[in-house]
Structure 1
Amino acid sequence: MSETTTTSATDDETLLARARAALWQAVSAGDEPAATRAVFAALDDGAATEHVLLEVIAAVQNRVGEEWAAGRLTVAREHAATAIHERVIAAMAHHAPAPPPGSAGAVTVACVDGEWHALPARLLAEVLRHRGHRVDFLGAHVPTPHLIAHLHQTAPAVLALSSSLPTRLPAAHTAITAVQAIGIPVLVGGAAFGADGRHARLLGADAWAPDARAAADVLGRGLPRPSPGAARLTVDDLPHLGDQEYTLVMRDRRGLVRDTLTALEERLPAMRAYTGAQRERTAEDIAHIVDFLAAALYTDDDRLFTDFLLWTGDVLEARRVPARYLDPALAAMTEHLKDFPRTLALLARGRAALRARDTRPPVPGPASHHER
C-alpha cells in the first residue's frame, strides 16, 4: 500500500471518528440540529455516504443500545436517539442524494411482521440506493399477507427481510416460504438470524448477510429466482415441530404468564408490596421469557434461550437486581409445563446457565429494575 493511500485511509478514519464523537454528543443531549450538523459536516468534508451511514450513524446507534443495556441510558432517551437517527438519514437524502438507479435490480426492503426496529433496514435501503439499486422501503412491521400482495404488484428482483428479535423468527419463516412460493428470492439479515446466520439457514432463506455492507455485496452479485410453487410446510424445514410443543406453549402463553406471576408472588414475599406499575413490568419480563422460550422451541436452538437469559441477567444486574431472581420464574414455568419434555430440557439448560453466571459478582448500576 502506498504512503498516499495510507494517509488517505488515516484521514478518512479520523474524519469518521470525529463525526462519531460529535453525533454521540448530540444524540446523548437529544439535540437533533447538532446531530444533523455533525453528519453533514462529515459529508461536506468528503466522507462517503455509505461510510457515514455505517461507520457513523450505525456505530452510534449500536453504542446507544449498549448504553441502555448497561443502565446508563433510559428507554425514553434510547427511543429519542433512534428517532433522531431516522430523521438525519431522511435529511441526508436531500443533502447528498443517491445517484440515479443503474442496472442493479430492484429490491424491496421490509421488516418482519411484528418487528418494530426499522433502523437497520433503513440503513440497508440507503446503502442500496447509493449502489444503484431501485429500492422500495416498506419500513417496520409488515404483515405477511400485505407483503405478498405488494410483491405481486411490484415484482422486485429480491426481498431483503430484516428482523432484530429472535421472537419474530416464526413470522420470518412464514414470510420466507410465502415469498419464495411466488418466485422471489429472500435475503435476510439482523440479529434475529444469529451472528453466524444459523437461523437464516434453518428457515430456508436464499441468502444471509451479517450487516448492510455485506448484504449490498450479496445483492450486487445477484440471487437466482426460486421456482414458483406451493409454499413449503413448516415441518418440512423444522421436523421437530411435529411434537406440537411450540404450538401448545404459545396457545397457553397468557395462562403461563399469569400462573408464573402468581407463583413468583408466593416464592418472593417482597413482591406482595409491589405497586401496580411494578407488577406490570414484572409480567412483561415474564412474557419476554416465555416468548424466547417459544422461539427456542421453534428453532430447536438452546443457545437462543440461554443467551437471552444471560443477557437479561446482565441487564438486571446493571440495574442492581440480582440475576438469580430469574430462577424462581423458570422454576414456576417448569411446574406449569411438566408434560412437555423438550420444553423442560430447555428450561433446565436455562437454569443451569444462570447458576453458572451467578458466581460472578453483581455489576454496579445506577437504577433498580423497576425504574426502567
Structure 2
Amino acid sequence: MSEPVATTAVVERLWQAVSDGDEHGAARVVHDALAEGTSEEALLLDVIAPVQERVGVEWAADRITVAQEHAATAINERVIASLAHRPDSRRNTGHRGRVVVSCVDGEWHALPARLVAEVLTLHGWRVDYLGAQTPTPHLVAHLHLTNPAAVLLSGSLPTHLPTAHATITACQAIGVPVLAGGRAFGPGGRYAKKLRADRWAADARAAVAVLDQGIPRPDTSAIRHAVDDLPHLADQEYTWVARSRPQLVKQTLVDLEGRFPAMRTYSDAQLERTAEDIAHTVDFLTTALYVDDPGLFAGFLTWTADILTARNVPAHSLLSGLDVLAGQLHDFPRTLKTIELGSTALSEYAVRPVPGARA
C-alpha cells in the first residue's frame, strides 16, 4: 500500500468538488484518498469535518448562499454514507457495547453527530444514530428499549441549551449517562458542566477516549430540577423573558419603527427578516440568562455584527434594538446587566480597526 496522501491536499480537492456542487467528484476524491492509504477516521475528521467547517465560514462571509451551504452539507453527508456502505468496509460488529448518538431537540445541524457516530462504529461500538431534532420523550423511550452504555448528545446552537438541560436530566433519571458535545456547550464544555452532563468531549476522538474509560451510571434515587443545577433561575428572570418572547419581539419592532420612520416603507419580506433578527436576539438573551453567562450574549452579538458587516449592513444598527429591549426589561437587573455588557461589546466592535485600512 502506498503512503497516505497529505490530508491538507485532500481537503482542498474535496472543497473544490463540494463548492462546485459535484457530488460524484467529491466521493471520488475521498475514495481515491482511502485507496492511497488515508484511514477512514482521518477522512471523516481531518478531511470532511474541516471542509464542512469551511462551508460555514464561507456562508458567514457572504461568499456562498444559503442554498449553496445546504447543497454542500448534503454532499458531505452522502460522501460519509458512501464510506460507511462501501462493499469492502471492514467495520466492527459492536463488541464494545451499545450507545445512542442524538441531536438535541430543535437542533438541525446533524453532521457533527453523524461524524461521531461513524467514528464510534469504527472503534467497535454499536451505534443507534437518531439524527437531527430528536424530541426528548422519544429519545427516553428509545433508551428504555435499548439500555445503552451512554447517550452522546450533540448541539451546535446555544439557544438549545435549556432543552439540552431537560434532556440530560431525563436521561440520567432512568440511569443512562450523558456525554455532551458540540459548540453549543461552550469553550471547554463549560455549559455541559453547568447542566451537569456526566461527561463532555471536544470531538469524536475525545468521545472515543471517554467511552474507553467508561462512564458510571447516574444515581436515579433523587429527583432533580433545573433550579437545583442552576440556582440563579430562582429569580424568575429567565422564565419571564422566555414567556414574554412574542410580546418583546412585537413591541421592539413597533418601537424601532417609531425611531426609524423609514422602516414603515419596508416590504413584508424586510419586516419579516427584521422580526426574525429581533427574535434571534431575544432567544440568545434568554439562553444567557438560563446559564447565567452574559458573555454568551455578547459573543452572539459580535458574531452577528460580523455577519452584518459582510453583508454591508451597519453593525451599530444592533445597538438600537438592544436599547429598546432594555427599556422593556428595566425591572430585571440580571437581564439589564446582560444587555449592557452586550452593548459594550458591540460598541467596542464598532471602533475596531478595519484590516488593511490606512491610519
Query: What is the TM-score with the length of structure 1 in the denominator?
Result: 0.92
Q: 1:107 and 2:99 equivalent? A: yes
1:368 aligned residue: none
1:93 aligned residue: 84
1:59 aligned residue: 50
What SS does the aligned partner of 1:109 have?
Answer: strand
Match of 2:152 among 154, 157, 160: 160
How many Å separate the matches in 2 of 1:80 and 1:236? 43
Indicate if the aligned counterparts of 1:314 and 1:363 stay in contact, CA closer than 8 A.
no
Q: 1:201-251: per-residue Cα shift (whole Å, max 9, x none)?
A: 000011001111111111122111112234411110000000111111111
1:190 aligned residue: 182
| Structure 2: runs of 5 or more not aligned | none
What SS does the aligned partner of 2:188 have?
Answer: coil
The 5-angstrom pairing of residues 252-263 of structure 1 reads 252-263=244-255
How many Å separate the matches in 2 of 1:263 and 1:330? 11
2:65 aligned residue: 74
Moved over 4 A (4+): 361-364
Indicate if the aligned counterparts of 1:64 and 1:81 stay in contact, CA closer than 8 A.
yes
Match of 1:133 among 125, 134, 147: 125
Q: 1:295 and 2:299 equivalent? A: no
1:280 aligned residue: 272
| Structure 1: runs of 5 or more not aligned | 1-7, 365-372
Indicate if the aligned counterparts of 1:183 and 1:229 stay in contact, CA closer than 8 A.
no
Match of 2:23 among 32, 42, 66: 32
Letter in 2 for 1:136: D
Indicate if the aligned counterparts of 2:94 and 2:121 stay in contact, CA closer than 8 A.
no
Indicate if the aligned counterparts of 1:318 and 1:363 stay in contact, CA closer than 8 A.
no
Indicate if the aligned counterparts of 1:111 and 1:161 stay in contact, CA closer than 8 A.
yes
Indicate if the aligned counterparts of 1:159 and 1:187 stay in contact, CA closer than 8 A.
yes
What SS does the aligned partner of 1:323 have?
Answer: coil
Match of 1:331 among 323, 327, 340: 323
Indicate if the aligned counterparts of 1:112 and 1:172 stay in contact, CA closer than 8 A.
yes
Q: 1:93-146: per-residue Cα shift (whole Å, max 9, x none)?
A: 122535232531211000001111100000000000000001000000111111
Q: 1:347 and 2:339 equivalent? A: yes
The 5-angstrom pairing of residues 162-177 of structure 1 reads 162-177=154-169
RMSD: 1.5
Query: What is the TM-score with the length of structure 2 in the denominator?
Result: 0.96
What SS does the aligned partner of 1:134 have?
Answer: strand
How many Å separate the matches in 2 of 1:360 and 1:279? 29
Identity of aligned residues (%): 59
Q: 1:158-201: per-residue Cα shift (whole Å, max 9, x none)?
A: 00000001000000000101101111110000001012111010
How many Å separate the matches in 2 of 1:137 and 1:246? 32
